[in-house]
Amino acid sequence: MRQRPPTTEKFDVVDSLLGNNSKIETSAEPLDEQEQEAIIQEFEILAIQQHRTWRSVFGAGTVAAGLFFLYAAWRQKVEPYGVRYTGELRSVTGASTVTAVLALQGVSLLLAAAGLLVNLPPKAGAGQREAAGCLPFAVRQRLALWSGVLGAAGAGVYWAAALVRMVQLHGAQYGKRWELSWLPAGPLAACLVCCYVASSLYGTEREIQRLRSYRYRYKKL
């Protein structure tokens, strides 16, 4: 028979899932096995809802950003420097290179979005016990997320170097184009946010797994 864990440690995990404003009275009668399982399943269902909400919201936003950068790459291909945010950097960039970098940023954003949206859990409901289990991110999802970060970082270095060259070539008064800092920073920030969302959700899953490991044998009379 498994030893019952310290009560305070067990409920610390529950409190961390519920938030700092919720405290469970530790002097209550112990829960039997069915009650423990019911509580854990409630937490699992809440975790599924968090997965669906946050992954859908941030994934959809990142998809939209990725499509924008792919459109910008296509626009640069058919009409080089036809828009302001690339035209102002014409003197320090090459047309084909700008097209490739914009396409890389678009693909990186779509990879990060895929890391969130692939294997999105179904809605948890009655009779869907499999939907209420812990859903760790697969290796391919983590690979997609970090590939997006690396691609966006590489493109960001190119744009940052172009902005610096503008200052070196035209001077601080006429060469500053800091309003274009979203070109290097935007996609990288979006990919990092996707990684943060995935990490936060994974942390919740680990807390639920930890809570499940603290179950103890007890039967009410």
pLDDT at 6: 52
Domain count, the chain: 1
- Structural domain for 110, as ranges: 7-213
> Quick one: tokens of 188?
């990288």
**What pLDDT tens digit does each residue of the chain (221 aa) get?**
445 445 455 555 555 655 555 544 444 666 666 776 777 777 777 777 877 888 899 999 999 999 999 999 999 999 999 988 899 999 999 999 999 999 999 999 999 999 999 887 776 554 445 554 445 677 888 899 999 999 999 999 999 999 999 999 888 777 788 899 999 999 999 999 999 998 888 777 777 777 777 666 555 55
* Residue 220: inside a domain: no
* Residue 2: inside a domain: no
Task: Report how far apart, in Å, the C-alpha atoms of 72 and of each of 59, 157, 158, 191 are.
Answer: 20, 18, 16, 18
* Residue 161: inside a domain: yes
* Residue 70: inside a domain: yes
pLDDT at 115: 92
Q: Catalogue the long-range contacts made by 156-160 (C-beta closer than 8 Å, 24 or more residues apart).
A: 156/184, 156/185, 156/187, 156/188, 157/184, 158/97, 158/101, 158/184, 159/101, 159/183, 159/184, 160/184
* Residue 11: inside a domain: yes
HSE of 13, CA atoms in CB hemisphere, 13 A: 21
- Is 44 buried (19+), middle (13-18) or exposed (0-12) by CB count in 10 A? buried
